[in-house]
């Protein structure tokens, strides 16, 4: 059985698709999605030897070698142009996920949907998507084993569609769909973040009054104000 986190990623892979799971590690996600019949073909990409081998073993053990190819390589370089219509990248930081997308831009022509699950810094991904004209079509936030995860789903075109024009900063930081839903996990995530920021503010208050510290404090105060106002809506 997949974790709730990976099951949420799986949910957004279109029926009948061929997809690449980049940074697949044990290849649980492609094995499960191909086994269930939802996807017809998958590529499991891994850049590190250990996880690459565990992906190969898992695919062999499940008897899926005709439908899942495990390939070793950095990011999207394991994909040939036109091979897949969906890409999943899960369990990494948002900055790394954005970097992988950016370096692999030329492989995205045939790709209709991205399903991305950053552990931190979803803002990096939302910013990349906006800059490259991918539109967010859905977002989820969930808590599992005391950690909070976000899943972002994007398709080509109309990048600004998901956002309120007057609330771009809020949308990029917190997620336009997640802001609307204000789920329990969402409220918990942002109250945790604010506690963190307030702790840092306290420390800055005790430190020397340098210009740099003042700037940091102002940035934190602005962020706290923005998040507090967004949570009140």
Q: Minimum Å distance from CB 57 to ligand SAM? A: 14
Q: Minimum Å distance from CB 47 to ligand SAM? A: 4
> Nearer to ligand SAM by C-beta: 69 or 170?
69
> Nearer to ligand SAM by C-beta: 67 or 72?
72
Task: Round to whole Å and give the CA distance between 86 and 121.
Answer: 22
* Residue 112 CB neighbour total at 10 angstroms: 14
Q: Minimum Å distance from CB 160 to ligand SAM? A: 29
Q: Minimum Å distance from CB 197 to ligand SAM? A: 26
Q: For the CA atoms of 227, 134, 15, 75, what is the dihedral angle to 10 degrees?
A: -90
* Residue 154 CB neighbour total at 10 angstroms: 29
Binding site for ligand SAM (CB under 6 A): 6, 22-25, 45-48, 51, 74-75, 90-92, 100
The runs of H, that is alpha helices, within 144-183 are 168-174, 176-181
Largest CA distance in the chain: 64
> Nearer to ligand SAM by C-beta: 6 or 227?
6
> Nearer to ligand SAM by C-beta: 92 or 123?
92
Give the length of the chain: 233
Q: Minimum Å distance from CB 200 to ligand SAM? A: 26
* Residue 11 CB neighbour total at 10 angstroms: 14
Q: Minimum Å distance from CB 65 to ligand SAM? A: 20
> Nearer to ligand SAM by C-beta: 21 or 139?
21
> Nearer to ligand SAM by C-beta: 5 or 126?
5
Element (H, E) at 137: strand 134-144
Rounded to 5°, the CA angle 26-28-29 comes to 125
Task: Round to whole Å and give the CA distance between 8 and 149.
Answer: 10
Q: For the CA atoms of 65, 68, 70, 73, what is the dihedral angle to 10 degrees?
A: 160
């Amino acid at each position: 059985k997949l974790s709730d986190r990976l099951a949420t990623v799986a949910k957004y892979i279109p029926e009948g698709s061929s997809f690449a799971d980049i940074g697949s590690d044990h290849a649980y996600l492609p094995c499960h999605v191909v086994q269930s019949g939802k996807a017809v073909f998958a590529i499991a990409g891994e850049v590190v030897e250990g996880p690459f081998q565990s992906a190969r073993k898992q695919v062999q053990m499940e008897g899926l070698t005709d439908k899942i190819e495990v390939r070793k390589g950095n990011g999207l370089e394991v994909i040939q142009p036109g091979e897949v219509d969906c890409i999943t990248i899960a369990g990494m930081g948002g900055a790394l996920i954005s970097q992988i997308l950016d370096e692999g831009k030329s492989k995205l022509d045939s790709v209709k949907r991205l399903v991305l699950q950053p552990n931190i810094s979803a803002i990096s991904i939302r910013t990349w998507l906006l800059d490259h004209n991918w539109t967010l079509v859905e977002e989820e936030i969930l808590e599992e084993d005391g950690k909070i995860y976000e899943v972002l789903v994007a398709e080509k075109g109309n990048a600004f569609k998901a956002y309120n024009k007057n609330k771009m900063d809020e949308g990029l930081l917190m997620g336009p769909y997640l802001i609307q839903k204000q789920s329990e996990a969402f409220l918990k995530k942002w109250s945790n973040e604010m506690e963190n920021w307030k702790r840092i503010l306290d420390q800055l208050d005790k430190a020397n009054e340098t210009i740099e510290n003042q700037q940091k404090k102002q940035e934190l105060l602005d962020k706290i104000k923005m998040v507090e106002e967004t949570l009140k809506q």
